[in-house]
Chains A and B, each alone.
Chain A
Amino acid sequence: MSVTDDMPFRVPIWSRLRRQIAGYGFLSPWLIGFFVLTLGPAMSSLYLSFTDYSLMSQPHWVGSANYAQIASDDPRFRAAMNVTFTYVLLSVPLKLVFALAVAVLLNKGMRGLNWFRAIFYLPSLIGGSVAIAVLWRQVFASDGMINQVLMTLFGYEGPSWIANPSTAIYTLVALAVWQFGSSMIIFLAGLRQIPQDMYEAASIDGASRTRQFFKITLPLLTPVIFFNAVILTIDAFKAFTPAFVISDGSGGPIDSTLFYTLYLYQEAFTNFRFGYASALAWVLVAIIAGFTALSFLSAKYWVHYDD
Chain B
Amino acid sequence: MTSLTLQDIKKSYGNIDIIQGVDLKIEPGELVVFVGPSGCGKSTLLRMIAGLEPISSGELRIGGQRMNERSASERGIAMVFQSYALYPHMTVYKNMSFGLETARMPRAEIDSRVRKAAEILQITQLLDRKPKQLSGGQRQRVAIGRAIVREPSVFLFDEPLSNLDAELRVQTRVEIAKLHADIGATMIYVTHDQVEAMTLADRIVVLRGGRIEQAGTPLEIYNAPANRFVAGFIGSPKMNFLEARVLSSGGDLALDLAGTSVALAGYGGRGLEATASLGVRPEHLRVGSDQGADLGAMTVTHVEQLGGQTIVYGRLSDGQQIVATLDGQQSVQAGQELPLRVDLARCHVFDADGRRVAARAA
Q: Which A residues lie at the B interface, using CB under 8 A?
A: 195, 197-198, 200-207, 211, 215-216, 219-220, 304, 306-307
Contact = CB atoms under 8 A, between A and B. Distances in A.
Given A205-B73, A206-B103, A307 B132 contact: yes
B233 to A, nearest CB: 27
Contacts of B103: 206
Instruction: Classify the secondary structure of A's interface with B.
Output: helix
Contacts of A202: 87, 98
Contacts of B360: none
Contact of A205 (B52, B88, B102): B102
A203 B71 contact: yes
B73 A198 contact: no
B89 A220 contact: yes
Contact of B88 (A203, A211, A306): A306
Nearest to B79: A204
26 contacts: A197-B83, A198-B85, A200-B79, A201-B81, A201-B87, A201-B146, A202-B87, A202-B98, A203-B51, A203-B52, A203-B72, A204-B51, A204-B72, A204-B77, A204-B78, A205-B98, A205-B99, A205-B146, A205-B150, A206-B73, A206-B99, A207-B98, A207-B102, A220-B88, A220-B89, A307-B132
A215 B87 CA distance: 9
Interface of B: 50-52, 71-73, 77-79, 81, 83, 85-89, 98-99, 102-103, 132, 146, 150
A196 to B, nearest CB: 9
Given A195-B85, A197-B85, A220-B89, A306 B132 contact: yes
Nearest to A198: B85
Contacts of B83: 195, 197
Contacts of B73: 203-207
A201 B87 CA distance: 9
Given A197-B81, A219-B89, A306-B132, A204 B50 contact: yes
A306 B50 CA distance: 28
A75 B26 CA distance: 81
B83 to A, nearest CB: 6
Contacts of A205: 73, 98-99, 102, 146, 150
A195 B83 CA distance: 10
A200 B81 contact: yes
A203 to B, nearest CB: 5
A124 to B, nearest CB: 29
A307 B131 CA distance: 10
Given A198-B85, A220-B89, A304-B88, A211 B102 contact: yes
The 7 residue pairs across chains A and B that have the minimum distance between CB atoms? A205-B99, A206-B73, A197-B85, A304-B89, A201-B85, A219-B89, A206-B102
Nearest to A215: B98
Given A205-B150, A306-B88, 19 more contacts: A195-B85, A197-B81, A197-B83, A198-B87, A200-B79, A200-B85, A201-B79, A201-B87, A203-B52, A204-B73, A204-B99, A206-B102, A207-B102, A211-B102, A215-B98, A216-B87, A220-B88, A220-B89, A304-B89
Nearest to B86: A201
Contacts of B52: 200, 203-204
Which of A204, A215, A219, A304 has the most C-beta atoms of chain B within 10 angstroms of its own C-beta? A204
Contacts of A201: 79, 81, 85-87, 146
